[in-house]
Structure 1
Amino acid sequence: MNALIKSATIVDSKSDFHNETVDILIEKGRIAKISKRISNPNNYKEITLDNLHVSQGWFDSSVSFGEPGYEERETIANGLKTAAQSGFTAVALNANSNPAIDSYADITFVKSKAQDKATSLYPLGALTKASNGKDLAELYDMKNAGAIAFYDYQKPIGNPNLMKIALQYASNFGGLVCSFPQESKISGHGVANEHINSTQLGLKGNPALAEELQIARDLFLLEYTEGKLHIPTISTAKSVELIRAAKAKKLDVTCSVAIHNLMITDDALDGFDTRYKVLPPLRTQKDCDALIEGLKDGTIDMVTTDHNPIDIEDKKIEFDYAKYGTIGLESAFGALQTIFTTKKTVSVLNQGKSRFGIAEASINVGEVADLSLFDPNGEYQFSKADITSRSKNSAFLGMKLKGRTYGVIANNKIVLK
């Protein structure tokens, strides 16, 4: 793939051309030249877009596509196309398909479905067989097949001894164990944050305590085993404090936060709209503020869209019975820009790669072209017309977002909207 990007502002602190507006010549998938003006004698494809900015390709540590088994929600092919158009050059795929991705063959299958795509797919293998929380899955085999971590998506490991064994076993080959932060006996059948709003609306509460107890337990297990732990999608102020203290003790722990938990509170539940039924549940403004602060000071290591397409039959029903989840790839950049500067937004969208063993490529001559293309300016109201996912269950519909993505250049391919 050869291309010439014209008049692009580079947003990459590791680039020699950070904050400069330049032309970028790409030959055979690598950056061949960066300069104020580059001619095009070989008649390469020229990319000229309004207020074009480019950065290192973005990474999302938690996406769900459905395939195999739930293709009505999303296919891998369309999911990766959506990710590319949303500016993501790499995504970690959750194991919550049917059947769950819990073997060497399953990892090989999903990787084969993602071949020759601009956005790279990195599978997360299930931590336990069929994600049932009873017996460890074939972790080492999946690692050899290409799994980058092990996670029973949104299913907490209730047995502390099983989590202990998982951390110990995975440490033998540098495996990363992910643990969903919820104590099920405390959360019970709760569907919303246990607080004033859940009481007024008559919704069963899922207290912050359920998340914090599980995190405290897992951090004790981590300290005992000296393993390697990632805690996905934390949502409470106390969770931030717990992880901050663990990092001060030099424990090998990272965590993420879902973008919707950063900026939408449980006040949104007033209309019983199931687009806002997510797990962990939307919390309070105090929690949002603490999560944002945790992201700023490095306690929280990365953001995720926690993209989870759900078909209309499982969303357009009573709140208690609707499935958890919101899509988030298409709205990620514009949503983050409403609370952060462009520089910070790009930074947090790039974080997490090293934790999952994914290579980073700065925007310098000789590097592989792994680029996200976007315009950081302009406000708009996010609508269904902005969604390319098969499922339309977005918590951001109707919200004012800032800035739009154009697409990506990655894996020797160009994908633009």
Structure 2
Amino acid sequence: MITLIKSAKIIDTSSPFHQQTKDILITDGTITQIADNLPYKKDYQLVEKENLHVSCGWFDTSVSFGEPGFEERETIKNGLTVAAKSGFTAVAVNANSNPVIDNKSGVEFLINKAQGFATKLYPIAALTKESKGIEMAELYDMQQSGAIAFSDYNKPISNDNLMKITLLYAQNFDGLVLSFPKNKAIAGEGIAHEGENSTKLGLKGTPALAEHIQIARDLFLLEYTGGKLHIPTISSAKSVDLIKEAKKKGLQVTCSVAAHHLTLTDQELHGFDSNYKTNPPLRTNKDCKALQKGIKSGIIDVITSDHNPIDIEHKKVEFSEAKNGTIGLESAFGAINSVLALDDFIDNITHKPRSIFGLKAISIAEGQKAEISLFTPEESYTFTKKHMLSISKNSAFLDKKLTGKAYGIFANNQLVLNA
């Protein structure tokens, strides 16, 4: 199969064609030619879109699909289709299924179930057995089966010694440990950011301090043990400062931020809409601006959708009873691109996450395997239910104005485009 992508502006700092508008010819999944005005032949698969931009394939490092066990929230099949149409050529899938992915057979199930799709699935296996935070899971065996990192999704490891031992043990096979930034004792039963809005609304608050204390603990442990630590979905200004200082010390620490924490604040809670109930909670405008600055300065390494489908029975209920989480694949690019310049963040969803999670580097260059995201950065629109492709519809971006839209992807020798 031969595919011709016409007049695409290439956004790829690793490519000799960065910031140039070119035609791209792909033959049997490999980029064979990049040039001006390549001729079209009738047997070619043609991609020609308004204001077309391309980059290396986007990689989302925090995605939940539900399957196995929570297929009413999302299935692997539909989830990977949603990811492709949202511009993502690779996703790292969290272990928060039923049963939890805490052994090699669970990892192999995910990988086998995802065979043949354009978007590649990479499992993030549980850090502890059943994600209960008591006993370390079979990390080495799961890595050998294909797990790229280890995390108890949205659950902090309260046992300091367990985290210390895990960081030490994972060094034996260069494993990447994720630690969710939340001190449970400080957070208590809080369901919103502790501050002016939570007080006005009568919602139990979770102070940003709960995040800071956990990050500080993990950084002290990392300094003691060595190894690699990734802190997912930070949400506050002070967290950026803590990680900045740790990087100055030379610690191998990286972090991510979710698209909704870059763009939304706790002002959204005034309608008690449970779609805005997330973990960590939405915080202040000051935190939002600090996170955006953290991306621009390079302190924050990765942007994720933190895509977490929740079925209507567990979401369309009283705010205090609703489960945390928002879908985010469909809205991720438009949300991020609405608050950051394209050049400020594209590496944070392409090259940086691939490097951190141990994936093979890719580039838009002749002779390279084609793994390409297709998008336009300038189209503005209101995000509505028609844009939601997930089985669950719990989006924090419903009726928000977004700028930038994914056209689809070319990956695994497959072209997937939005209708």
Distance of 2:271 and 2:210 partners within structure 1: 25
Instruction: Name which of structure 1's ranges 41-50 and 205-214 shifts more when overlaid on structure 2.
Output: 41-50
1:317 aligns to what?
A: 317
Shift of 1:309: 0.2
Identity of aligned residues (%): 60
Q: What are the equivalent positions in structure 2 for 1:4-153 lying under 5 Å apart?
A: 4-41=4-41, 43-153=43-153
Shift of 1:294: 1.1
Q: What are the equivalent positions in structure 2 for 1:156-195 lying under 5 Å apart?
A: 156-195=156-195
- Structure 1 runs of 4+ with >3 Å offset: none
Shift of 1:42: 6.8
1:224 aligns to what?
A: 224
Distance of 2:249 and 2:126 partners within structure 1: 29
1:338 aligns to what?
A: 338
Distance of 1:376 and 1:111 partners within structure 2: 32
Residue identity in the other structure for 1:299: I
Q: Deviations over 1:198-241 (max 9, x none)?
A: 01111001011111000111111111111211100011111111
2:374 corresponds to 1:368:
no
Shift of 1:23: 1.2
Distance of 2:371 and 2:296 partners within structure 1: 25
Distance of 1:336 and 1:91 partners within structure 2: 17
Distance of 2:262 and 2:323 partners within structure 1: 21
Residue identity in the other structure for 1:305: S
Distance of 2:82 and 2:134 partners within structure 1: 34
Residue identity in the other structure for 2:134: K
2:275 aligns to what?
A: 275
CA RMSD of aligned residues (A): 1.0
- Tell me, which stretches of 5 or more residues in structure 2 are unaligned? none
Instruction: Name which of structure 1's ranges 339-348 and 214-223 shifts more when overlaid on structure 2.
Output: 339-348
Shift of 1:342: 2.2
Shift of 1:289: 1.2
Q: Determine helix, strand or coil for the equivalent of 2:279.
A: coil
Shift of 1:41: 4.1
Q: Deviations over 1:370-415 (max 9, x none)?
A: 0000111221000010010001101011111012111000011111
Distance of 1:317 and 1:214 partners within structure 2: 30
Distance of 1:192 and 1:109 partners within structure 2: 36
Q: What are the equivalent positions in structure 2 for 1:257-276 lying under 5 Å apart?
A: 257-276=257-276
Distance of 1:275 and 1:295 partners within structure 2: 25
Instruction: Name which of structure 1's ranges 43-52 and 160-169 shifts more when overlaid on structure 2.
Output: 43-52
Distance of 2:211 and 2:404 partners within structure 1: 33
Shift of 1:6: 1.4
- Is contact 2:193–2:207 with CA below 8 Å preserved after alignment? yes
- Is contact 1:95–1:152 with CA below 8 Å preserved after alignment? yes
Instruction: Name which of structure 1's ranges 344-353 and 82-91 shifts more when overlaid on structure 2.
Output: 344-353
- Is contact 2:338–2:404 with CA below 8 Å preserved after alignment? no
Q: Deviations over 1:165-206 (max 9, x none)?
A: 100111111001100000001101000000011011110010
2:392 aligns to what?
A: 391
- Is contact 2:292–2:340 with CA below 8 Å preserved after alignment? no
Distance of 1:123 and 1:305 partners within structure 2: 16
Shift of 1:46: 1.2
Q: Determine helix, strand or coil for the equivalent of 1:95.
A: coil
- Is contact 1:333–1:345 with CA below 8 Å preserved after alignment? no
Distance of 1:45 and 1:102 partners within structure 2: 42
Q: Determine helix, strand or coil for the equivalent of 2:353.
A: coil
Q: What are the equivalent positions in structure 2 for 1:226-305 lying under 5 Å apart?
A: 226-305=226-305
